[in-house]
């Protein structure tokens, strides 16, 4: 029917249709989100961002509590994850015996592939009781006067539980990017420093880390992008209460968990749905920006690998 | 046709379906199949779609299976997509029947004037708790006002004298009350907040009735199972769930003060008594747009129950669909009310007294 040349062209054509479909789906998603959030944007304006009350029956919508919860969880998760993952990355690249490096790397990358609901379930079964029975009683005995560490309800659920689990979820991203960044440090530079009498620690501190730092920043930003969109683990752990958290042990609410909990009901009322879609838009914009910035840094530092990275956002 | 050209065809089909899929995304909603008339059968053949309330889903499912057995030419397809989806999509005609835990409030009615809500079963909201020192099988006495104050964060501790006053035989610990509510939009929440709205002015003003209210205090959990787990795992916990969960987990729930001054525990019997009394005492809206809370005079009425609904469009696309819908409803409200369907899936059967009003409502469906 066709000669080989045409076959090849036809196949190419089909493939480009598929690629086009992916691009179109992305654009449709963005357009739909913009379209449906427009009524809310035009009605509530910029004050949507700092109003606290979220009252669907009264059609009063303000995103502050959800924004606050989202940023609390994201930043705490980063604070927990960064030292752990930097340590892991440095160990794997610089200290790990060669025969173990492969196994450890695989295990850490497998951690990235665990479905987030599994992390959430594990959190409910272990982290929540641990916080309830050990951490909160300890803090309420010794730190009861400290503002950000006050235990109001000894229930285990809340910002802390969610942040710990999200930290585990972003750990593999930051750890493996740290390792890759360190592996891209020129051997000559390290050897030079060693020849001048530097210890291994000196080399890591003064040669490798400064060189790899931009890459590590990129990894942290990608971790941020993953953390901010995390949904089901936070639904299970955060306590889902629309308040601005006053303490590490407060309950709270994130944008993503709020959408997961209520969006199927919100479709009942156009303005209610629109306000929730506006929350989705905010999340979309933040994670898009974060991903673009993170990937740009990584591309400059390590090369093309992370433009097609296996780590998505959210 | 050789092998490679077959492959091409497959690819072509894949492309077409991708494009169809895209247009599907743009249009947003699935179109439901409408039943087509059949020549001989009593009930017109076709497919009826029921979608909406996840709480009502198990009952809809057992009904669908049984109804299909009785009428092999009719397929009832059931999905649990949330009450909000059920109401809005029934109004738009995307599904035949929208399942909902809540009736059409004034605001909904204004938005969807083309819908009627037919009651199909009864459900309730019961208060559960976990208080150290109080045995698991005790039905503590509580009043709706007291519960409202707990859920507004005004009463924060179990040693508050209000508890002791109602239940003098028990010793209440000095323990923080851990308030648990639903995180997702829920019919149980709607019922629960309806009782608080009708009995506490402060609650009515500050929070009101809603499937997903702006909770003044506490923490939220996804689904009733998670509410049970949160209350049971935390000393000092209080929460609310429907009859189905109380039966399934053998929970002791609060004996709630009713209008007649009695403390009544929610059960199939007391819920049915409430519904019966509400319909018979007069003043209950003929279109069922009300929860059966508080203003029910029967002595043994549980004061916090409500109907589960099917939302149906008044104007149906063709007479055979109308006929199918009415036949399904008549079956569900008749033989379908047997305990093996309703109580088994966590609901109380409707009292016969609803039938005259349902008949009037169904007359509007054309």
**A234-263: b (≥16 Cβ within 10 Å) or e:** bbbbbbbbbbebebbbbbbbbbbbbbbbbb
CA distances from B261 to B180, B294, B299, B303 (A): 27, 11, 8, 11
Q: Which of B115, B184, B235 to mutate to test the interface with A (most CBs of A within 10 A)?
A: B184
State the number of CA atoms in the 13 A half-sphere of B284 facing the CB. Answer: 23
pLDDT of residue B42: 66
Interface contacts (A, B; CB < 8 Å):
108
Model's pTM, two decimal places?
A: 0.79
Residue identified by tokens 């400064």 is: A210
pLDDT-wise least confident of A5-9, B211-215, B333-337: A5-9
Higher pLDDT, B83 or A134: A134
The rounded mean pLDDT for chain A is 88
The nearest CA of chain A is from the CA of B290 a distance in Å of: 17
Please write the tens of the pLDDT for every residue from A147-187.
Answer: 888 888 888 899 999 999 999 999 999 999 999 899 888 88
Q: Which three-class secondary structure state does DSSP give residue B120?
A: strand
Residues in CB range of B11: below 8 A, 6 or more apart: A14
Q: Which three-class secondary structure state does DSSP give residue B36?
A: coil
Mean pLDDT within B146-168: 95
B11, B209, B221 member nearest A14 (Cβ): B11
For residue A306, is pLDDT > 60?
Answer: no
Residues in CB range of B352: below 8 A, 6 or more apart: none
For residue A72, is pLDDT > 50?
Answer: yes
**For a pLDDT cut of 90, what percent of chain A falls above it?**
52
For residue B110, is pLDDT > 90?
Answer: no
Token reading at B261:
């001054």
Cα angle A272-A277-A281, degrees, rounded to a multiple of 5 = 150
Q: Is B234 exposed, middle or buried (CB count within 10 Å of its CB: 0-12, 13-18, 19+)?
A: buried
For residue B15, is pLDDT > 60?
Answer: no
Q: Which of A3, A155, A246 to mutate to test the interface with B (most CBs of B within 10 A)?
A: A155
Give residue A302's pLDDT band: very low, low, confident or very high (50, 70, 90): low
Mean pLDDT within A55-63: 87
pLDDT of residue B129: 96
Q: Which of B212, B217, B235 to mutate to test the interface with A (most CBs of A within 10 A)?
A: B212
Contact B222 A251 (CB under 8 A): no
Token reading at A212:
């790899």
pLDDT of residue A2: 55
Please write the tens of the pLDDT for every residue from B169-196.
Answer: 999 999 999 999 999 888 899 999 999 9
The nearest CA of chain A is from the CA of B49 a distance in Å of: 18
pLDDT-wise least confident of A218-227, B39-48, B150-159, B162-171: B39-48
Cβ-based contacts of A1 with chain B (< 8 Å) = 2, 5
Cβ-based contacts of B108 with chain A (< 8 Å) = 268
For residue A216, is pLDDT > 80?
Answer: yes
Cβ-based contacts of A260 with chain B (< 8 Å) = 222
Contact B185 A266 (CB under 8 A): yes
**For a pLDDT cut of 70, what percent of chain B falls above it?**
89
pLDDT-wise least confident of B42-46, B64-68, B248-252, B350-354: B42-46
B19, B22, B219 member nearest A155 (Cβ): B219
Give residue A138's pLDDT band: very low, low, confident or very high (50, 70, 90): very high
pLDDT of residue B304: 93
> Would you tell me which residues 140-179 of chain B have a C-beta closer than 8 angstroms to some C-beta of chain A?
176, 178
For residue A79, is pLDDT > 90?
Answer: yes
Give residue A314's pLDDT band: very low, low, confident or very high (50, 70, 90): very low
The nearest CA of chain A is from the CA of B220 a distance in Å of: 5
Higher pLDDT, A4 or A146: A146
* CB of B303 closer than 8 Å to CB of B259: yes
Give residue B54's pLDDT band: very low, low, confident or very high (50, 70, 90): confident
Please write the tens of the pLDDT for every residue from A17-36.
Answer: 999 999 999 999 999 999 99
Mean pLDDT within A78-104: 92
B12, B214, B220 member nearest A55 (Cβ): B214
Cβ-based contacts of A156 with chain B (< 8 Å) = 234
pLDDT of residue A3: 66
pLDDT of residue A264: 81
ipTM summary value: 0.74
Contact A265 B211 (CB under 8 A): yes
Please write the tens of the pLDDT for every residue from B194-244.
Answer: 999 999 999 999 998 888 888 999 999 988 888 998 899 888 999 999 998
For residue B112, is pLDDT > 60?
Answer: yes
Please write the tens of the pLDDT for every residue from A266-279.
Answer: 888 889 999 999 99
Under an 8 Å CB criterion, which residues of A touch B? 1, 7, 10, 14, 17-18, 21, 24-25, 28, 32, 53-58, 129, 132, 153-158, 235-236, 239-242, 251, 253, 257, 260-262, 264-269
Mean pLDDT within B86-97: 90
Residues in CB range of A274: below 8 A, 6 or more apart: A36, A37, A38, A39, A40
Cβ–Cβ contact B212 with A under 8 A: yes
For residue B10, is pLDDT > 60?
Answer: no
pLDDT of residue A113: 86
Please write the tens of the pLDDT for every residue from A233-275.
Answer: 999 999 999 999 989 999 999 999 999 988 888 888 889 999 9
Q: Find the helix or strand (DSSP H, E) in which A265 lies.
A: helix A255-266
Q: Find the helix or strand (DSSP H, E) in which B249 lies.
A: helix B243-249
Count helices and strands (H / E) in chain B.
Answer: 13, 13
The nearest CA of chain B is from the CA of A252 a distance in Å of: 8
Give residue A1's pLDDT band: very low, low, confident or very high (50, 70, 90): low
Contact B214 A54 (CB under 8 A): yes
DSSP class of B310: E
A58, A241, A265 member nearest B219 (Cβ): A241
Contact A268 B178 (CB under 8 A): no
pLDDT of residue A164: 96
């Amino acid at each position: 029917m066709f000669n080989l040349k045409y076959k090849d062209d036809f196949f190419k054509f089909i493939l480009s249709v598929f690629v086009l479909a992916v691009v179109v789906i992305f654009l449709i998603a963005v357009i739909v989100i913009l379209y449906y959030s427009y009524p809310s944007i035009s009605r509530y304006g910029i004050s949507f961002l700092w109003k606290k009350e979220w009252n669907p029956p009264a059609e009063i919508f303000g995103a502050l509590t959800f924004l606050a919860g989202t940023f609390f969880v994201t930043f705490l998760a980063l604070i927990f994850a960064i030292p752990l993952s930097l340590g892991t990355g440095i160990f794997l690249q610089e200290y790990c015996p060669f025969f173990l490096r492969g196994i450890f790397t695989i295990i850490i990358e497998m951690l990235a592939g665990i479905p987030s609901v599994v992390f959430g379930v594990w959190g409910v079964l272990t982290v929540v009781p641990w916080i309830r029975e050990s951490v909160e009683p300890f803090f309420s005995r010794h730190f009861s006067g400290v503002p950000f560490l006050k235990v109001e309800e000894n229930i285990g659920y809340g910002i802390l539980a969610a942040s710990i689990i999200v930290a585990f979820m972003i750990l593999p991203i930051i750890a493996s990017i740290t390792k890759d960044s360190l592996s891209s440090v020129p051997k000559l530079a390290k050897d030079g420093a060693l020849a001048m009498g530097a210890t291994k620690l000196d080399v890591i501190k003064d040669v490798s880390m400064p060189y790899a730092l931009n890459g590590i920043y990129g990894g942290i930003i990608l971790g941020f992008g993953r953390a901010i969109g995390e949904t089901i683990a936070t639904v299970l752990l955060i306590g889902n209460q629309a308040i601005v958290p006053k303490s590490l042990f407060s309950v709270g609410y994130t944008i993503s968990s709020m959408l997961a909990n209520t969006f199927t009901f919100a479709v009942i009322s156009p303005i209610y749905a629109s306000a929730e879609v506006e929350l989705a838009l905010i999340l979309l914009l933040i994670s898009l920006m974060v991903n673009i910035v993170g990937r740009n840094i990584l591309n400059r530092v390590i090369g093309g690998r992370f433009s097609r990275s296996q780590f998505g956002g959210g | 046709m050789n092998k490679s050209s077959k492959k091409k065809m497959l690819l072509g089909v894949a492309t077409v379906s991708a494009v169809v899929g895209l247009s599907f995304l743009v249009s947003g909603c699935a179109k439901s199949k409408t039943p087509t008339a059949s020549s001989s059968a009593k009930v017109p053949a076709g497919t009826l779609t029921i979608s909406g309330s996840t709480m009502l889903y198990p009952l809809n499912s057992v009904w669908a299976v049984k109804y299909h057995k009785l009428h092999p030419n009719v397929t009832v397809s059931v999905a649990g997509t949330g009450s909000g989806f059920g109401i809005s999509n029934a109004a738009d005609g995307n599904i035949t029947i929208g399942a909902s835990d809540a009736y059409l409030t004034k605001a909904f009615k204004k938005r969807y004037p083309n819908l009627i809500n037919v009651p199909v079963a009864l459900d309730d909201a019961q208060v559960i708790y976990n208080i150290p020192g109080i045995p698991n099988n005790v039905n503590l006495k509580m009043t709706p006002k007291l519960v409202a104050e707990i859920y507004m964060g005004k009463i924060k501790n179990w040693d508050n004298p209000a508890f002791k006053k109602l239940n003098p035989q028990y010793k209440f610990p000095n323990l923080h009350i851990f308030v648990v509510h639903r995180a997702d939009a829920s019919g149980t929440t709607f019922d629960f907040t309806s009782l608080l709205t009708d009995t506490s002015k402060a609650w009515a003003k500050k929070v009101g009735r809603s499937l997903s209210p702006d909770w003044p205090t506490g923490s939220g959990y996804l689904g009733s199972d998670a509410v049970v787990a949160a209350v049971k795992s935390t000393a000092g916990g209080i929460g609310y769930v429907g009859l189905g969960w109380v039966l399934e987990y053998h929970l002791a729930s609060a004996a709630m003060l009713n209008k007649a001054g009695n403390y009544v525990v929610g059960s199939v019997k007391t819920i049915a008594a409430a519904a019966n009394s509400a319909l018979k005492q007069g003043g209950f809206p003929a279109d069922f747009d009300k929860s059966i809370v508080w203003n029910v005079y029967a002595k043994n009425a549980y004061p916090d129950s409500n109907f589960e609904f099917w939302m149906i469009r008044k104007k149906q696309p063709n007479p055979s669909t109308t006929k199918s819908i009415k036949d399904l409803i008549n079956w569900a409200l008749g033989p379908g009310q047997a305990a093996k369907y309703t109580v088994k899936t966590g609901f109380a059967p409707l009292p016969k007294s609803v039938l005259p009003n349902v008949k009037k409502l169904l007359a509007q469906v054309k």
